[in-house]
Every structure is written in C-alpha cells, then in structure tokens.
C-alpha cells in the first residue's frame, strides 16, 4: 500500500501496477461513506453516475446530470484526505463536442476539487481524452460494458466474447492508453481478455466483472454492502447484509416509539 500520510495521485497507481500491488476502488456519493472508505484504506473513490440508479432510483445512468455529479463529487472530495477521487462525466456532457467535454470536465474539477474525471468509450472517444489530458485534466477511461451506451449494446451483457468483439475491445483499450488516460475501467469483460488487456497496457486496469487479473477492482458500494438485495449478478460479492440490519433497526425503533420505551429517561433532558 502507498504512503497513507499524503493524498494518492495518478503516479501512485502506476507505481502500484509496476509493483504488482492491487488497487482497491469503491463508489461513494456522500461525505459519510467517503470518510469511511478513505479511513479504511481505499485507494480510489469513484463518484459514479451509478448514483442515478442507487440513490436517485432511476433505471439507468442516462438521466444523470452535470449538476448532480458536481453535488455528489463535492460532498465526497470534501471528506477525503488520502484516496484519489474520480468523478464520472454524465451522458452527453462530453460526447457532443470536444469543446463541451473540456468545459464540463473543467467545471467538475473546479466545483468539486476532485483531481480526475472518468468517461466512457474507446477509439471514438480517444480524441476527446487527448484534448482533456493536453489541458491538464486527468482522465480515467472505461471500456467493455459502458452503461451510458446500454441501449446501443442491447442491454447489460458481457462484452468481447467473440473474436472480432475481443479485438475491438483491445483496440478501445489501446486507444484510451495512447490518448493519455491514467487508467481504464474494464466492465463485464471475459477474464482471459481482461488479463490480456492488463498485460499489454502500461496503465492500470480496474475491473468490475472482469476477472482477477486486473490491476484493481471496483464495486458499487451499496451493492457490496448488501443494501440492494434485488440486484444479483455473477461478479458481485456481498460483504455485509446492511439491508437486513437496517430493516431490523428501523423495526426496533418503531416498536420502541409505539410502546413508549423510547425516548427513555436517559434520552431526555431535565
């Protein structure tokens, strides 16, 4: 693990890849959770546009807005001392023109204080990534299953299983690296293909549903904590059952209120 007395940088991620040290990443959308992740040694905190699903209750990430990402990004960055915070650029904030991408990515960094942004896409988005990097905006790429293109991809399904699709994914990953991204997320990619990408690239790969050979792993925090029991996919490992714990606590609180047990004398002021 890198030095815990100073903030993580993109250079640290490169050093971790070279040393074979796995990168730990989780999503966060608020100061409370971000503080917990940071103090627990998480290396990268992603303020994902998944907030639009797990917090706002939407069916996809597509309706996430720039203001929404800035609000949550500011909350997370303000609570973090060590982890590298990366904020997702939402749908249509960077795909229309390169000028839009520069303006919106710059606004995210200015308004949140976060040191990096993430965007989806490979070969087609390489010129945009290069334009951002050339202007001093660190970019994390994202290839494979790209949730902002879920309808074009025909749903949430593994990408790169056929030979031609695997070569396209390889080309996307190479393009992201060549454009100057400091790392790339590989989502829903067959494990052997993800291993091949990880071996070929010099930038770190962060896997989600991409097998064990990526340089790091990321999960959506509420999913990992068991707060979203209706969401069940093969790659997800639940490390807690907070859904059950929270429901039990709320039920106990309700019973105490209805019976008059709470508040007791010890919870009241004379």
The residues annotated with a catalytic role in the active site are 187
Quick check: 42 and 230 in contact, CB under 8 A?
no
The Cα 14–Cα 180 span in angstroms is: 13
**Cα separations (Å) of 143 from 169, 173, 184, 199?**
7, 7, 7, 16
Quick check: 209 and 187 in contact, CB under 8 A?
yes
Indicate the burial class of 61 (C-beta count within 10 angstroms; 0-12, 13-18, 19 or more).
buried
Indicate the burial class of 191 (C-beta count within 10 angstroms; 0-12, 13-18, 19 or more).
middle
Residue 138 half-sphere exposure toward CB, CA atoms < 13 A:
16
Can you spell out the DSSP letters for 3-46?
-TTS---HHHHHHHHHHTPPEEEEE--SHHHHHHHHHTT-SEEE
What's the token pair of residue 131? 């334009």
**Cα separations (Å) of 51 from 110, 139, 231?**
20, 20, 15
**Cα separations (Å) of 173 from 37, 110, 127?**
28, 28, 14
């Amino acid at each position: 693990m890198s030095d815990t007395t100073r903030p993580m940088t993109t250079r640290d991620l490169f050093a971790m890849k070279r040393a074979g040290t796995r990168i730990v990443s989780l999503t966060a959308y608020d100061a409370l959770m971000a503080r917990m992740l940071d103090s627990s040694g998480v290396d990268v905190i992603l303020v994902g546009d998944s907030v639009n699903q797990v917090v706002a209750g939407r069916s996809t990430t597509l309706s996430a807005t720039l203001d929404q990402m800035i609000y949550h990004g500011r909350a997370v960055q303000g609570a973090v001392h060590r982890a590298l915070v990366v904020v997702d650029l939402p749908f249509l904030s960077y795909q229309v023109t390169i000028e839009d991408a520069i303006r919106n990515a710059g606004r995210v960094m200015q308004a949140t204080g976060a040191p990096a942004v993430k965007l989806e896409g490979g070969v087609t988005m390489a010129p945009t990534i290069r334009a951002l990097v050339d202007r001093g905006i660190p970019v994390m790429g994202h290839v494979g299953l790209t949730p902002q293109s879920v309808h074009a991809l025909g749903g949430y399904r593994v990408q790169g299983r056929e030979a031609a699709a695997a070569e396209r994914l390889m080309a996307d990953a190479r393009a992201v690296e060549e454009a100057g991204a400091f790392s790339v997320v590989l989502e829903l990619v067959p494990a052997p293909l993800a291993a091949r990408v990880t071996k070929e690239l010099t930038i770190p790969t962060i896997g989600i549903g991409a097998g064990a050979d990526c340089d790091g792993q990321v999960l959506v925090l509420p999913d990992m904590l068991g707060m979203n029991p209706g969401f069940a996919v093969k790659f997800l490992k639940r490390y807690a059952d907070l859904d059950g714990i929270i429901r039990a606590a709320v039920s106990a609180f309700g019973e105490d209120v209805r019976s008059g047990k709470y508040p007791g004398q010890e919870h009241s002021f004379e």
